[in-house]
Structure 1
Amino acid sequence: MSSIAPWRRLLAEFLGTALLVTAVVGSGIMATTLSPGDVGLQLLQNSIATAFALGALILTFGPISGAHFNPVVSAADWFLGRRTGTGLKGKDLAGYASAQTAGAIAGSVLANLMFDLAPVTLSTKDRAAGHLWLGEVVATTGLLLLIFALGRSGRSAVAPAAVGAYIGAAYWFTSSTSFANPAVTIGRAFTDTFAGIAPASVPGYVIAQIAGLVVGAGLLLVLYPGVGETADTLVVEHPTPQGKRS
C-alpha cells in the first residue's frame, strides 16, 4: 500500500475526477456549439477529447493515488486485494468514493461555468432503458478486465494509453456511450448539456455499473487467480530521487 499521505491521495482523486468530468461535459458543450445538428460528429468530438484527457489525467495523478477516478475501480481494488492484504483498505475505499463523487459534481459545475451556463442545470436527458443498462454492464466489465489484467501482467505503465483508448472506443460500441463510473454518472446529472443524464436515470446506470463490477471481479478471479496479489499496482507510489520527499 502507498505511503503517500491519505489527504494527498484523496485530493488527487477529487481533482482527477473533477477534471475528467470537466473534459467530458466541456467537450460535449463545445461539440454541440461547433457541430450543431450532427450528433455523430458531436459524439466523435466528445469521445476523442475524453479519451485524450483521461490518459493525461492518469499520467498526472496516477503516481499519487493510482488515478482510479471511479468507485467501481476502487471497490474492485479493495475486493480483489483484501485476502492478500494488498490494495485499498475499507476506510480508503470510502474516502476514495466520496472524493470521486464530490469531484465529479464539481467537474460539471466547472464546465457549466466555463461555458457561461448556470452552475447547476439538472439534466433532462432520459437514459432509462434496458439496452442502455446492458451497455453499462458491458462497459464496466471490460474496463475492470483491462485495468487489472494490465496490473497482473506487469504492464501498468501503458494504462494511460490503454484505458483512454478503451473508453474512447466504448463510447461507440456500447449503447450507453460507456459511463462505466458511478461518480461520473452522478456528476453528469448536474449539467443539462450533451453529456448529461437525467437524475431519474442515474440509479439504473449505477446499478448496472455495480453489476459490471460483480461480473468483472468474478471473471478476473477465474482468468487471473492471483490478481489480488498485484492490487497494490493500482495505488502507485512514484519513485523519487534519493533523499527527496515524495
Structure 2
Amino acid sequence: MTDPQPAGLPTAPAPRSLPIRMLAEALGSAGLAATVIGSGIMATHLSDDPGVQLLINAVATAAALVVLIVVLGPVSGAHLNPAVTAALVAVGRVPAREILPTVVAQLVGFVAGAVLANLMFGGAAVSISTTERAGVPLLLGEVVATAGLVAVILTLVLRGQGSWVPAAVGLYIGSAYFATSSTSFANPGITVGRMLSDSFAGIAPANAPAFVGAQLLGALLGVIVVRFVLVPRDVSP
C-alpha cells in the first residue's frame, strides 16, 4: 500500500491528514496506558489476591483494546503499538516515512496516559516503578506474546479480514495475560508508560530495555511466520 490507510479495517473511509492520524494514535495510546495502569491500581484497591488483581487488569485491558481499535481504526488504523507499526511497515501496509511520527505520537500518548492514571488515583504524576520483571523466562514470554500479537494482526489484515482485528486483539491479549510468563506487555510503548507508575502494572526502568528488545524480536518473528506460513506473498489480496 502506498497511500496511508487505516490498517485495521478493510472498509475504511478516505485517509485523514497525517496530523489527525497522529493525534488519534496519541489519544488511543493514552487511553490504553490509562486503562492498563489505572485498572492495575484499582485491582490492588479491590483485592489482595494476585490472581484476582491480574484478572481485573486483563479484562479491563482486553475490553479497552476492542473499543479503542473500533473507534480509532477508521482514523489512524489504531496501531497503538510501535511493534505493530513496524510490522505493518515491513509488509508494506504503512509507508516507511510514517514510522517515526507514528511511534513518537504513540510514546507521547503512553506517557500522558500513565500520568493520567497516576493522578486519577491520587498519586504523583510520575512515580518510577520499582517492580522487578527480569529473567530469561519472562523475556521468552515477551517474545512469544509479541510474535503472536503481530501474527494475529498481520494475518487478518493481509487476508482482507481486518474487521476481525478488534475482537481478535482483545481476545488474544486477554488470554496472553495468563498464558505468558510476562503477562504479555507485547508493546514497547506501553512498556515505557508502565515505567512511570510504581503500581501493580509497573516495570522497573532497569528491566525495560530487555523487555523492549524481546518485543522487537517477537515482532520480527511474527512477520516471518506470517510471510512464510500463514499468508505467503503469492496469496495476499
TM over 0.5: yes
- Among candidates 103, 108, 111, match of residue 114 of structure 2: 108
Task: Report how far residue 90 of structure 1 moved.
Answer: 2.2
Per the alignment, do residues 141 and 204 of structure 1 end up closer, same or farther by CA in structure 2, a change over 3 Å counting? same
**Is 1:165 matched up with 2:171?**
yes
Match of 2:124 in 1: 118
Deviation at 1:220, TM superposition (A): 1.2
Q: Does 1:204 align with 2:210?
A: yes
> Structure 1's 220 and 32: CA in aligned 2 closer, same or farther, altered over 3 A?
same
Alignment match of 2:68 (pick from 40, 57, 70): 57
Q: Paired residue for 1:5?
A: 17
- Counterpart of 2:126 in structure 1: which amino acid? V
| Runs of 4+ that moved beyond 3 A | 227-230
Contact residue 152 and residue 227 of structure 1 kept, 8 A: no
Q: Does 1:133 align with 2:142?
A: no
Counterpart of 2:232 in structure 1 is 225
Match of 2:28 in 1: 16
Q: Residue deviations 1:129-158, cap 9 Å, x none?
A: 110000000000000110011112222112
Q: 1:76 aligns with which of 62, 87, 102?
A: 87
Q: Distance in 1 between matches of 2:22 and 2:55?
A: 32
Mapped to 2, the partners of 1:137 and 1:149 lie a distance apart of 18
| Residue of structure 2 in register with 1:41 after alignment | 52
Query: Over residues 166-192 of structure 1, what are the superposed CA-to-partner deviations in whole Å (9 max), with x where a residue is unaligned?
Result: 000000000000000000001100000
1:110-130 deviations in Å (ceiling 9; x for gaps): 000000100000000011111
Aligned-pair distance for 1:206?
0.3
Unmatched runs of 5 consecutive residues or more in structure 2: 6-14
Deviations 1:45-91 (A, max 9, x none): 1100100011000011100000000001100111111xxxxx22222
Structure 2 distance, partners of 1:188, 1:60, is 24
TM score, norm. by length of structure 2:
0.92
Measured at CA, do residues 222 and 189 of structure 1 come closer, stay the same or move farther in structure 2, by a change above 3 Å?
Answer: same
Q: Which runs of 5+ in 1 are unaligned?
A: 82-86, 231-246
Q: Relative contact order (C-alpha < 8 Å, sep 6+): which is higher?
A: 1
Distance in 1 between residues matched to 2:114 and 2:85, nearest whole Å: 21
Contact persistence 1:80–1:228 (CA under 8 A): no
* Alignment partner of 1:180 is 2:180: no
8 Å CA contact 2:147–2:221 kept in 1: the answer is yes
- Among all aligned residue pairs of Structure 1 and Structure 2, give the percentage whose two residues are the same amino acid: 50
Partner of 1:66: 77
Structure 2: distance between partners of 1:94 and 1:26: 28
Q: CA deviation at 1:229?
A: 5.6
Shift of 1:221: 1.2
55-64 or 154-163, larger mean C-alpha shift: 154-163
Counterpart secondary structure, 1:197: coil
